[in-house]
């Protein structure tokens, strides 16, 4: 048997032209980082527009696939046999052994595909396909060839060494982390914001996070839930610096001084203001929220305009046009759903008015905020000074 390796395929990086090597390097680095979490020795090599991971030592196959499938930028992972001696007789046997090991039942249709970068090889690509197909049919009589819709493609690549692979495990797609700056995620305990963070990180963006905590109105369990969610997404988005802001005083003050139907909007404006300060302190280039048009009163177009007004940084809202079910589907896929639906209050749900405004007028909101002038600045400063930082790395 040849050495076990994995071919990590990537899609979008392939169109990056001159900068492509930067994306490939970032991708290799992320793959190395993920694999460093598990047992085994892994060597990640970049070769002719391909990324191979060679595996050695005592490692778990499933774990290795799982880790690589969390790396943004990887579109698929194929276990590959590396065949050092590619002379034809050896190659056919090695490919046969590969099929032997990969497939329990040997009754499926297949097609051999070949790529040959070693132009001196005695057989051309079409010849490799035909001859290899013949060899496999002879060795495994249950197999059949189907050139149009085969159950299985068997890829044979002839380079300085030969490679054979066929199964493809799906990757996370997107762009490698670290190729697109950093943003500050407003992370609550709900379904939406973890998904929003995941989606922006998928475009190569590192994530920091902020959670507004309002003890004793929100429990320690509510905060723990946010920490748990951050851990779950960090499998994809990498380490997260979670800032926990004590928001109780500010929230109470708004509650005392402003009309109750405007509470949510004004609270959200203060969350955004604080998040933006934090973002600027931490070299973040934007904010991320889980908002979606019309989902709740604070997410109508009017409300979003009112919330947005207090920010100068771009606010990324990747879920803006998604239905709830579409968001739920992603949260299930990335494994956050079960945690998100645990029943712990987050700070917005305690203070919601019976009839919140759905069409807030900016000048009305601004006027209400004038009631806060006496103390709000000090309160915001105190909130900033008493932030608790939790470093999250699954
Ligand atoms: P989610 O499911 O993400 O909690 P939601 O449907 O509950 O969202 P809102 O409570 O209106 O919606 O919040 C909208 C967005 O504001 C959230 O997606 C999140 O980005 C941010 N947010 C809300 N509450 C908090 C909080 N306590 N801490 C940090 N961010 C928050
Ligand atoms: Mg929420």
Summarize pLDDT for 67-90 with one digit per residue, the tens. 999 999 999 999 999 999 999 999
**What pLDDT was estimated at residue 1?**
41
Rounded to the nearest whole angstrom, what is the distance from the C-alpha of residue 6 to the centroid of ligand 2? Answer: 40
Q: Which residue has the higher pLDDT, 19 or 306?
A: 306
Residues within a 6 A CB radius of ligand 1: 186-188, 190-193, 210-212, 289-291, 295-296, 298-299, 346-348
280-302 tens-digit pLDDT: 999 999 999 999 998 888 889 99
Cα dihedral 226, 231, 235, 236 in deg (nearest 10): 30
State the Cα–Cα distance between residues 253 and 378, nearest whole angstrom: 12
Q: What is the DSSP letter of 205?
A: -
> Measured between alpha carbons, how far is 328 from 270 in angstroms, rounded to an integer?
28
To test ligand 1's pocket by mutation, which of 190, 270, 316, 358 has the most ligand atoms within 8 angstroms of CB?
Answer: 190
- Report which secondary-structure segment, H or E, holds 255: helix 248-257
CA dihedral (107, 113, 117, 123) in degrees, to 10, reads: 80
Q: Which ligand is nearest to the CA of 194?
A: 1
Dist. CA 135 → ligand 1 center (Å): 60
Contact 86, 116 (CB under 8 A): no
Mean of pLDDT values over 253-274 = 95
pLDDT 10s digits, 165-210: 999 999 999 999 999 999 999 999 999 999 999 999 999 999 999 9
Q: Which one, of 8, 41, 44, 47, lies nearest residue 28 by Cα?
A: 44
pLDDT at 3 > cutoff 70:
no
User: What tokens appear for 256 in the block?
Assistant: 């005392």
Identify which of 183, 186, 352 to mutate to test ligand 1's pocket (most ligand atoms within 8 A of the CB): 186
The burial of 64, by beta-carbon neighbours within 10 Å (0-12 exposed, 13-18 middle, 19 or more buried), is given as buried
8 Å CB contact between 289 and 193? yes
Q: Which atom of ligand 1 is nearest to the CA of 319?
A: 18
The best mutation among 290, 356, 383 to test binding of ligand 1, ranked by most ligand atoms within 8 Å of the C-beta, falls on 290
pLDDT greater than 80 at residue 48: no
Token reading at 2: 């040849």
The greatest distance separating any two alpha carbons of the chain, rounded to the nearest whole angstrom, comes to 87
Q: How far is the CA of 155 from the centre of ligand 1 (A)?
A: 47
């Amino acid at each position: 048997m040849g050495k076990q390796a994995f071919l990590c395929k990537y899609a979008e990086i392939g169109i990056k032209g001159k900068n492509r090597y930067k994306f490939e390097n970032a991708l290799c680095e992320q793959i190395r980082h993920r694999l460093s979490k598990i047992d085994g020795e892994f060597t990640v090599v970049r070769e002719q527009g391909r990324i191979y991971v060679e595996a050695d030592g005592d490692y778990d196959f499933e774990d290795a696939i799982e880790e690589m499938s969390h790396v943004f930028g990887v579109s698929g992972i194929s276990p590959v046999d590396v065949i050092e001696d590619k002379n034809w007789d050896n190659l056919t046997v090695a490919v046969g052994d590969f099929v032997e090991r990969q497939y329990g039942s040997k009754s499926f249709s297949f097609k051999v595909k070949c790529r040959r970068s070693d132009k001196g090889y005695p057989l051309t690509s079409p010849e490799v396909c035909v001859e290899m197909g013949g060899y496999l049919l002879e060795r495994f009589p249950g197999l059949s060839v189907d050139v149009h819709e085969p159950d299985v493609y068997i890829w044979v690549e002839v380079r300085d060494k030969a490679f054979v692979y066929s199964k493809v495990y799906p990757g996370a797609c997107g762009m490698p982390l670290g190729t697109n700056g950093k943003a500050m995620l407003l992370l609550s305990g709900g379904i939406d914001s973890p998904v929003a963070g995941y989606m922006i990180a998928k475009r190569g963006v590192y994530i920091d996070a902020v959670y507004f905590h309002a003890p004793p109105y929100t429990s320690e369990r509510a905060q723990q839930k946010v920490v748990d969610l951050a851990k779950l997404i960090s499998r994809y988005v990498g380490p997260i610096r979670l800032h926990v802001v004590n928001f109780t005083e500010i929230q109470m003050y708004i509650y005392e001084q402003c009309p109750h139907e405007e509470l949510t909007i004004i609270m959200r404006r203060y969350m955004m203001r604080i998040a933006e300060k934090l973002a600027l302190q931490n070299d973040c280039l934007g904010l991320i929220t889980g908002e979606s048009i019309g989902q709740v009163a604070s997410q109508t177009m009017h409300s979003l305009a009112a919330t947005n007004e207090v920010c100068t940084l771009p606010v990324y809202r990747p879920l803006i046009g998604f239905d709830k079910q579409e968001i739920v589907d992603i949260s299930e896929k990335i494994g956050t759903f079960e945690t998100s639906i645990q029943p712990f209050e987050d700070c917005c749900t305690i203070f919601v008015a019976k009839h919140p405004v759905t069409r807030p007028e900016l000048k009305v909101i601004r006027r209400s905020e004038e009631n806060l002038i006496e103390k709000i600045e000090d309160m915001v400063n105190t909130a900033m000074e008493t932030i608790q930082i939790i470093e999250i790395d699954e």
